[in-house]
Amino acid sequence: MDLGSLLNALILGVSIASIWLIAALGLTIIYGTAGVINMAHGELIMLGAYSSYMLQFYLGLPYLLCIPASFFIVAFVGLVLERGLIRYLYNRPLDTLLATYGVSLVLMQGVRLIFGSDPKYIAAPAAFSSNISLGFASISTFRVVILGVTALLVFGLWLLFYKTRFGVQVRAVMQNKEMAASFGINSGRIYMLTFALGAGLAGVAGSLFGVLAIVLPTMGASYVVQAFLMVVVGGGSLAGSVAASGATGELQSVLAFFTNDTFARFIIFVLIVVFLRFRPQGLFAQAGARR
Amino acid sequence: MAGLLEIHNLSKSFDATKVINDFSLEVVEGTLCCLVGPNGAGKTTTLDLITGRIKPTSGKIIFAGEDITAKHEHVIARAGIGRKFQVPAVLRDLTVRQNLEVSYSRQTNPFWNLFKFRNAGLKEKLDEIATLAGLKDRLGERAGILSHGETQWLEIGMVLMQEPRLLLMDEPIAGMTEGEIEKTARIFKDLRKTATLIVVEHDMGFVREIADVVTVMHMGSLLAQGTIKQVESDPRVRDVYLGEQEAA
Amino acid sequence: MQFTRRNLLKTTAAASVAIAAPHLWLPSEAHAATLKKGEPIKVGLLFSLTGALAVPEEDSTLVLQYAFDEINKNGGVNGVPVEPVIVDAKSDFNVYSEKTKELILREKVIALFGCYTSASRKAILPTVMQRDHLLYYPTCYEGAECTQNTICTGPLANQHSQDLIPFMVEKFGKKVFFVGSNYVWPKESNKNAKVWLEKAGGELLGEEYIPLGSSEFGPVLGKIRDAKPDFIFSTVVGASDIAFHKQFKQEGFKVDSMPIASLTTGEIETRAMGADFGAGHFLSAPYFQTLDNPTNQKFVEGFLKSKYGKNGTTHYNMEETYLSAYVFKAGLEKAAAAVGVENVTPRSIRDNSGGIRIEDAVSPEGLIWIDENNFNTWLKPKIGQCQADGTFKIVKAADKQVAPDPYSIYPDAGTCTKDGLKGPDGKVRKNVI
Amino acid sequence: MGNIYHNKTAQWIVYAVFFAILAVIPIKIDDSFLLNQLATYGVYGMLALSISLCWGFGGILNLGQGIAFGLGAYGMAMTMQMQSQDASNPIPPFMLNNSLDHLPLLWQPFQNTTAGLILSVAVPTLFCAVFGGIMFRARVSGPFFAIMTLAMLSAFYTIIIDRQPYTGGVNGLTPPSAFQFAGVEVDPYSPTAYWVVFCFLMGATVVAKLITQSSFGLVTQAIRDDAERVRFLGYSVAGYETVIYTVAGLIAAIAGCCWVMLVQYVSPAQLDVSFSLSMVIWAAIGGRHSLLGSIFGAFIIQGAQSYLGDTFLATWLLILGGFFIIVVRFLPNGLASLLESGLGLLAAKRRSSSAAVERNGDANPMPAE
């Protein structure tokens, strides 16, 4: 084992972290703000991939435009979902888990009915199919793109939540819904918008994963549990999810370097359980209203 | 006479803020001690510390000769301390009867309770307390639908079902009618024969009527202690209360 | 309360009386599916039409329906049409098990066609064996199994890499890296590959397994980059395989200097990953859509034009599945001739299937036959290289059929015979799975 | 007074009728497939029951019930696998393929059927007691505990796949012959197998019902309502939570053993997240506050899956998903709450029509049942 390889593993860890993070971002927003356990998050990611595919295949949109377009399409789906179902369940967090599991089945089968069960293909610019070599280390361009998009989104969310009026309102609703209402903040609207935003973020993740891996009706299922673990370990806050994904991504990469991928996962799951045992509120807990 | 409850030099800080500062108190068995003080004086925090809900930064709490500092809530409760919360906390999804039944916690071991279907002495006690709390006709109702006053009574009933040696009552008469307040005062006086009480209350009229000893807290420390007359004539107490009124 | 207890007691009493009744202790009747005059021959199609496994298995159902339509159009089996009973196993192994029972016990089918993964096969085999039924397993698998109730028309691990490894070593170099999905088939296939690698004088630089369904190949590709092999031998399956090929290119690996030799990356996969990710890599399979012979042309054209051909391609797994229908037809006809139509049972079909040949005129991949001992298939593995359009160019074909040997790497375990696994001590054990 | 739904005597009568019907089936019906299928549903019923006990009554949402079920199932499969090995052939075939030449220590106790059965039940139960004990003492609760069970489940799932030489990996274990007990082979299609499952289901249900009616059950329902408050009544919340979680685990472990007896097969799929989720869904659909309702939930969902799944092939998951959404949205307490409110309406009508015939009996209202 030489230092260069370990360094490579560390760099790769950052990339893996960004993948875990971008899958978890939308969920962080939704769970952090409204406490909704959205089991359909994976299917929203899947919808993002399919909308990119659709836009590219039927409208010939270039891939780079498909990414933001997927955001809006899936955000709209999220909006409909929130208005039609989720808003009736805000005071029953565990029930949101079950209802959204139902939603995930519907979305998965719906997409299968429309597009069939064979995998689809999203074409990315040829420039993305290469790697960047820095002499000692090497990383694929597309991973850098994902990293860049993730960083951009995190920064944007930070601006949105900490530097805008909307962000103040969101945090007010998170801390105390009744109090916020007395200041004229419409919590229903805030929830609706954050849910749509979270869904849109899943859409972005989907259009990226579609290129990195595969576009299938079932593709979402593999992301939802790990995204959830990130959110809970992080404590439902943006910073928490960043930190949790960072730590997990590095661990995954380094452990896989020393052992193998499967065992690395096992260790991560166990570490998550141990961690939550000592810090059930997560890394950076939201200062939400707790009894 | 030794104190049933002795608090020695209790302090509690949240981050940098000292909420309770070197607070000591002794409550004699069979007395009713009223804990008064302006908002934020640390009254409820003191109750939290006594009942183990939060752990003190330093200091000691002795109950019936036993050190209960930083013990778990249920251990302290089992030792004989019952508590009524400021915001009435009843089990809203259970019926009034079930609320009272579950409070009759003579047997707390989960394994024993697995094999326990009838509770000796429960029925008499339940009848007595339900009558006392005026909830005799409401036993079958879900506690969540009770009015605020009824909920207060239910929680008082729950504390009584526990048969504690020391009762901590956090603002027991909030939301009660004149008649009910009188009734409460009567009950508390009765209780003093068998138990010891600490009552946190703002209503000075009520305090005047029931208190054996009044303890005044300010900024997390003991400000004054004595009979109601002594306390009311204490200039420091007046300052604190007047100061608060001016600020408000 | 008292009343209730009495009720309970009564129920329990009823239960114990029922248990005590002697006839209930008998094992239920042995299964005896037979053919009835004037009724179509029922066969069960046990594949996943929904869920993660639907990608390959839906095609299997379609191609079998096509095959049976073709058989029925040409007079059926022994003059009787075949009626496929189609169920959906929902990619859920519990459902595989339940549906198997339903097909055998309720539908009383004469044979089952099903499964794509070893895990689902293992899930249903106890039931199939216990009912002494017959499963056509129409795809490649690892071997190391000797049951009296399966017929397999795909390549075994020993057939799969026999040509591929020496070919790659000769063409690209001695150093190889093994990558596989983390389950039994890749591990067993790699053991076989190691045998051929040793014979070819190659060198194994590393062996990595990634979780099934995972799409994160960063760490594995990092290790490959460090190891610098001449080629990669891949047994990654399903969605992971597509992610693997994509990330291989995205990470800057060049297909010319380090191609992937795969046992799984066929026409479906190359189309799903986009041909530019697949082009240049190699696949070992008994069948490719581009095979140039009249039977295959007829099969490809006929299938794609039929109502089952909506997916627009044929690939090795579909062809192996297609063949299983004809193996069944021949076996049933032979059994009927041997024991009489009325007495045909799943077991008698199986016992009469040894040595069945599917000739060039029927088999798109060319002549195959069923081994008389282990009931796997003699076939010619071929090596194809993926082209820019996603089809494969055959670069090498075995000159003669290769024998299937389920225990090739476990000679100590014994040899698989018609009646069971014959151990070194001469004892024959039935149903070794 | 009140709704007959909450009447304890009436509840026991319904339970008795339910099990009486189940008991009649094998006597009246001679269909080995149906018996086997119903027995499998019985296993699912036990799982739904365990979730109802743990979640509906204890307030502990457990998304990892597959751990207890799976460990029990693996134990049973190991026992059955070892039953089919003999002196000439001492180790399971899959181990040979994984280059093991002797029986691993982990497997050795399973050579003895009794020891194997005891371990199959004891190991998962012990796991629940230890895991639950540690977590509940740390006051992990609500969604956090749910997520941790999910993580733990994924950990088990992964390690079983990774340790292929000991576990058979993804392929799992497939004992080639039926379970033998005291010299009798339990044919999975026989009424015997049905009776075994029936007895365990009935036993588990009666025990669970008694638990919910005991003082213990009252305390757990209070904990579900407001754990914090219950502490101040002198109850060790962690103790109660651990016990009910462990009892639920025990039921699931027994279910796992029964399941392997019926299907002769176990694989990591039994520890898959989606399987554990479906257990929760059975209970949620049937009504998690009702033990019998949860069992019904399992029967209904699985029955529909078996009998309608192929009819509505392409749209089945749409229907199923839509059904979940509707039930959760409009019937948060499941189908059982339909019955509850229906009977409640009836009671109200009767009360208003025939004035007040006050009964003082032991009709004890139990909103939780």
Structural domains in chain B, CATH included, are 3-247 (3.40.50.300)
Would the pLDDT of C24 be above 70?
A: no
Confidence band of B248 (pLDDT split at 50, 70, 90): very low
Tell me how crowded residue B85 is: count the other CB atoms within 10 A of its CB.
21
Which residue of D16, D26, D36 is in closest CB contact with C8? D16
What does the pLDDT look like over C284-298, one tens digit per residue? Answer: 999 999 999 999 999
Confidence band of A200 (pLDDT split at 50, 70, 90): very high
User: For residue D356, what pLDDT is reported?
Assistant: 44
Q: Do D368 and B92 touch (CB under 8 A)?
A: no
User: For residue B244, what pLDDT is reported?
Assistant: 53
Q: How far is C262 from chain D (nearest CA, A)?
A: 21
> Most C CBs within 10 Å: which of A50, A222, A255, as the mutation test of the C interface?
A222
User: For residue D365, what pLDDT is reported?
Assistant: 41
Instruction: Tell me if chain A has a CB within 8 Å of the CB of D170.
Output: no
**For chain D, which residues make up each domain, given as ranges?**
4-353
Q: Which residues numbered 267-326 in D keep a CB inside 8 Å of some CB on C?
A: 267, 269-270, 275, 305-306, 309-310, 313-314, 316-317
Q: What is the CATH number of domain C159-285?
A: 3.40.50.2300
Q: How far is C120 from chain A (nearest CA, A)?
A: 18
Q: Which residues numbered 119-178 in C keep a CB inside 8 Å of some CB on D?
A: 119, 122-123, 125-127, 129-130, 144
SS3 readout for chain D: CCCHHHCHHHHHHHHHHHHHHHHHHHHHCCCHHHHHHHHHHHHHHHHHHHHHHHHHHCCCCCCCHHHHHHHHHHHHHHHHHHHCCECCECCCHHHHHCCCCCCCHHHHHHHCHHHHHHHHHHHHHHHHHHHHHHHHHCCCCHHHHHHHHHHHHHHHHHHHHHCHHHHCHHHCECCCCCEEECCEEECCCCHHHHHHHHHHHHHHHHHHHHHHHCHHHHHHHHHHHHHHHHHCCCCCHHHHHHHHHHHHHHHHHHHHHHHHHHHCCECHHHHCHHHHHHHHHHHHHHCCCCHHHHHHHHHHHHHHHHHHCCCCCCCHHHHHHHHHHHHHHHCCCHHHHHHHHHHHHHHHHHHHHCCCCCCCCCCCCCCCC
Tell me how crowded residue B227 is: count the other CB atoms within 10 A of its CB.
12
| CATH fourth-level superfamily of C30-155+293-370 | Response regulator (3.40.50.2300)
User: For residue C269, what pLDDT is reported?
Assistant: 86
* Nearest-angstrom CA–CA distance, C351 and C334: 10
In this prediction the ipTM stands at 0.89
Would the pLDDT of C415 be above 70?
A: yes
Instruction: Tell me if chain A has a CB within 8 Å of the CB of D90.
Output: no
Instruction: Tell me if chain D has a CB within 8 Å of the CB of A225.
Output: yes
Of all residues in chain C, the percent with pLDDT exceeding 70 is: 92
For residues A144-160, give the mean pLDDT. Answer: 94
Q: Do B117 and D214 touch (CB under 8 A)?
A: yes
Give the nearest chain D residue to A93 (CA atoms).
D143
* Nearest-angstrom CA–CA distance, D256 and D80: 13
Instruction: Tell me if chain A has a CB within 8 Å of the CB of C214.
Output: yes
- Against chain B, the chains showing at least 3 CB pairs within 8 Å are D
> Most B CBs within 10 Å: which of D233, D241, D250, as the mutation test of the B interface?
D233
Average pLDDT, chain C: 87
- Which chain B residues contact residue D240 at CB under 8 A? 110
User: For residue B67, what pLDDT is reported?
Assistant: 92
**For chain C, which residues make up each domain, given as ranges?**
30-155+293-370, 159-285
- Which chain A residues contact residue C268 at CB under 8 A? 118-119
Would the pLDDT of B116 be above 60?
A: yes
Among B68, B63, B21, CA closest to B46: B21
Would the pLDDT of B115 be above 70?
A: yes
Q: What is the CATH number of domain D4-353?
A: 1.10.3470
Give the nearest chain D residue to B78 (CA atoms).
D234
Give the nearest chain B residue to D218 (CA atoms).
B102
Q: How far is A166 from chain C (nearest CA, A)?
A: 36
Instruction: Tell me if chain D has a CB within 8 Å of the CB of C214.
Output: no
**For chain A, which residues make up each domain, given as ranges?**
22-221
Q: For chain D, which residues score pLDDT lower than 50?
A: 1, 355-369
- The torsion region of residue A237 among left (phi > 0), alpha (psi -120 to 50) and beta comes to beta
What does the pLDDT look like over B158-203, one tens digit per residue? Answer: 999 999 999 999 988 887 888 888 888 988 888 888 889 999 988 8
User: For residue C393, what pLDDT is reported?
Assistant: 94
Confidence band of C425 (pLDDT split at 50, 70, 90): confident
Would the pLDDT of C1 be above 80?
A: no
Residue D133 to residues B77, D67, D222, Cα–Cα distance (Å): 21, 16, 19
Which residue of A103, A273, A278 is in closest CB contact with D325? A103
Q: How far is D226 from chain B (nearest CA, A)?
A: 6
* Dihedral (Cα; A276, A279, A284, A286), 10-degree rounding: 90
* Nearest-angstrom CA–CA distance, C264 and C314: 14
User: For residue C33, what pLDDT is reported?
Assistant: 62
Predicted structure pTM score: 0.90
Instruction: Tell me if chain A has a CB within 8 Å of the CB of D160.
Output: no
For residues C111-119, give the mean pLDDT. Answer: 92
Instruction: Tell me if chain D has a CB within 8 Å of the CB of A132.
Output: no
Tell me how crowded residue D86 is: count the other CB atoms within 10 A of its CB.
9
Would the pLDDT of C244 be above 90?
A: yes
Among B1, B22, B24, CA closest to B225: B24
Which residue of A12, A112, A212 is in closest CB contact with C219? A12
What does the pLDDT look like over C342-351, one tens digit per residue? Answer: 889 999 999 9
Among C99, A11, C24, C226, CA closest to D40: C99
For residues A97-121, give the mean pLDDT. Answer: 89
Q: Which residues numbered 22-51 in C keep a CB inside 8 Å of some CB on A?
A: 50-51
What the block records as the tokens of C412 is 């100590």
Confidence band of C32 (pLDDT split at 50, 70, 90): low
Instruction: Tell me if chain C has a CB within 8 Å of the CB of D162.
Output: yes
First-to-final CA distance of chain A: 51
Q: Do A133 and C252 touch (CB under 8 A)?
A: yes
- Which chain A residues contact residue D231 at CB under 8 A? none
Would the pLDDT of C54 be above 70?
A: yes
Q: How far is D71 from chain B (nearest CA, A)?
A: 25
What does the pLDDT look like over B9-65, one tens digit per residue? Answer: 999 988 778 889 899 999 988 889 999 888 888 888 999 999 999 899 999 999 988
Same fold, C30-155+293-370 and C159-285: yes
- The owner of tokens 């019907």 is D21
A vs C, Cβ pairs < 8 A, gives: 124
Would the pLDDT of C18 be above 70?
A: no
What does the pLDDT look like over C182-201, one tens digit per residue? Answer: 888 898 899 999 999 999 99
User: For residue C55, what pLDDT is reported?
Assistant: 81
For residues C339-359, give the mean pLDDT. Answer: 91
